[in-house]
Chains A and B, each alone.
Chain A
Amino acid sequence: MRRLPPEPPDDEVTPEAVWLRRRDFLRAAGAFAATTFAVGGTATLLGNRGLPHGVASAAPGGPPPPDGAGALRGRPEPPPQGPSADHPAVRAALRTDEPQTPWDDATGYNNYYEFGFGKDDPARRSGGFRVRPWTVVIDGECAKPRTVDLDTLLEWAPAEERVYRMRCVEAWSMVLPWLGMPLSAVLRRAEPTSRARWVAFTSVQRPEEMPGQRTDALDWPYVEGLRLDEAMHPLTLLAHGLYGRPLPTQNGAPLRLVVPWKYGFKGIKAIVRITFTAERPPTTWNRAAPHEYGFFANVNPAVDHPRWSQATERRIGDLLRRPTLPFNGYADAVAGLYTGMDLRKDF
């Protein structure tokens, strides 16, 4: 089996890279403003910086905001800070040097029930899915709700390549070079209020283009959610590219979530709405089978799926299984988010 991804033809990949660099350059001014805000937010929480994971204020069982704060709708509050983006554990997690899953497998073996149940259905049946024009609604408990054109949103932060392990709840895994922006860069723009504790995501609903949505296999549209501190974590990525190219439709174009320490189904695809909420939002697989798929869905070899073991996984391309790592190998960067939680109960 081929281990290295086939190089895309030069005439395709070069303009792509140039295009991305041009965009990076053009949005420098916007990025400056965002960076200023981010640095400011980090500075106000300097007390947390010594600890990799100063997130107690956003814990689900944490104290509710005082009534007065809750009433101050629209007043931005610095979002909870996990480890900063330059924390060594985070920096080490940004790129794994494990062999990357070949392009054909990464784009030909997908779980995307909107296009069918088969692993090859998304690649075969998503050709007619339109990814432009595309708008994203950002709303809920935030000072600056808005509806933003995707191409504007993509200017909000430079594209970064992240090479992450992707562990499917079905016990297979890949290594994928995503192109995207930290979700925090988008969330900060909306200025979540003190009432915001969770972030809800909604996929597009287009049954005419998504044959799976014409079945009732799941409740459509697909919805997912994160706790705000998880959403703000520097490893949490809003991906819009793969292998240096725009995200293929079968991988969740034009915009998807990538949370590398959680099972793949948390990575909601074709996002059209991001909503800050005070209550924990419902999530599709959790609603479909609550005893099998938890809200948090952190990769955890010690908590088996009721029907199969999560202790091992098969890396696509390998013959034999390998041990699954806690938090998919990202424990150093993210375990502190869950201090004090019983991860067997909150699986």
Chain B
Amino acid sequence: MPAFVAGGLAPVAELALRGALGGLGADPVAFVLHRLGLAALIFLVAGLACTPLRAWLGWTWPLRVRRALGLLAFGYAAAHVAVYAGVDQGLDARAIVKDVTERPFVTLGAAAFALLVPLAWTSTDGAVRRMGGRRWATLHRWVYPAAVLAALHFLLRVKRDVTEPAVYGGVLALLLLLRGARRPSRRASGAGDGPPTG
């Protein structure tokens, strides 16, 4: 768990250290914005890897950190959105609305974030109890479209070199394929998309 906490906070620590040492580059706003977004995507993908890891390799520990991974993803996504709206756009509501409505890559990112909000809201044990396992699980399948939208958001943003977004997109596609392949047997065994146990 300490290692997990360290890993989860590593992006923040890196940004803080770079900020203190002046290592954020000539355009620190863009640098921080991109790092936060990337961290969100990485934790989102990592969270989606938990179930396939259990299904294919029999590992159970990833499932215990799945909720934390999801919340980290949401936290970084929220910070990413906050830097975008608050600093990059200077809280210019008109510019933000224009961005979200007119630029597909921003629209996709905003949609991905919007999908994550209710998932974070219902991430507590209490929420699972109140909603019931089935409804909770149905709601939390929104994480798939959210991850796909986030990956597309990244892909559409780059100017020319699509290598990096393609890597994340590829990992994500692989994870989704693995899920698709395992779905029948997982259903049969009653495991899978149930509430987190961590």
**A residues neighboring B (CB under 8 Å):** 1, 101, 104-105, 108-109, 113, 117, 119-120, 170, 172, 217-218, 288, 304, 306-309, 311-312, 314, 316-317, 319-321
Contacts and interface: CB of A to CB of B under 8 A. Distances in A.
Contacts of A120: 25
**Chain A to chain B: the 3 pairs with minimum beta-carbon distance, closest first:** A109-B26, A105-B26, A117-B161
B27 A320 contact: no
B14 to A, nearest CB: 16
Contact of B27 (A113, A306, A309, A314): A314
Contact of A217 (B26, B99, B160): B160
Given A307-B104, A316-B26, A288 B160 contact: yes
Given A319-B87, A321-B89, A321-B90, A113 B160 contact: yes
Residue from B22, B27, B88, B103 whose CB has the most chain A CB atoms within 10 Å: B27
Nearest to B89: A321
B95 interface: yes
Contact of B105 (A119, A307, A321): A307
Contacts of B95: 309, 311-312
A323 to B, nearest CB: 11
A1 B25 CA distance: 11
23 contacts: A1-B22, A104-B26, A105-B26, A108-B25, A113-B160, A117-B160, A117-B161, A119-B27, A170-B159, A172-B30, A217-B161, A306-B103, A307-B103, A307-B156, A307-B157, A309-B95, A309-B103, A312-B95, A314-B27, A314-B30, A317-B26, A320-B87, A320-B90
Nearest to A308: B103
A172 B105 CA distance: 19
Contacts of A304: 102
Contacts of A218: 160
Contacts of B104: 307
Nearest to B104: A307
Interface of B is mostly: helix
A89 B185 CA distance: 75
Given A117-B161, A314-B27, 12 more contacts: A101-B26, A109-B27, A117-B160, A217-B160, A309-B98, A309-B99, A309-B103, A311-B95, A316-B27, A317-B26, A319-B29, A319-B87
Contacts of A104: 26
B124 to A, nearest CB: 36
Contacts of B160: 113, 117, 217-218, 288
Contacts of A307: 103-105, 156-157
Residue from B26, B103, B105 whose CB has the most chain A CB atoms within 10 Å: B26
Contacts of B103: 306-309
Interface string B158-193: 011100000000000000000000000000000000
A5 to B, nearest CB: 13
A71 B94 CA distance: 57
Residue from A217, A304, A307, A311 whose CB has the most chain B CB atoms within 10 Å: A307
B50 to A, nearest CB: 32
A342 B27 CA distance: 33
Nearest to A315: B27
A311 B99 CA distance: 11
A119 B90 CA distance: 24
B116 to A, nearest CB: 23
Nearest to B22: A1
Contacts of A320: 87, 90
A176 to B, nearest CB: 12
Contacts of B88: 314, 321
A104 B26 CA distance: 8
B25 A109 contact: yes
B20 to A, nearest CB: 13
Contacts of B27: 109, 119, 172, 314, 316
Interface string B1-38: 00000000000000000000010011101100000000
Contacts of A217: 160-161
A315 to B, nearest CB: 10
A43 B88 CA distance: 50
Contacts of A317: 26
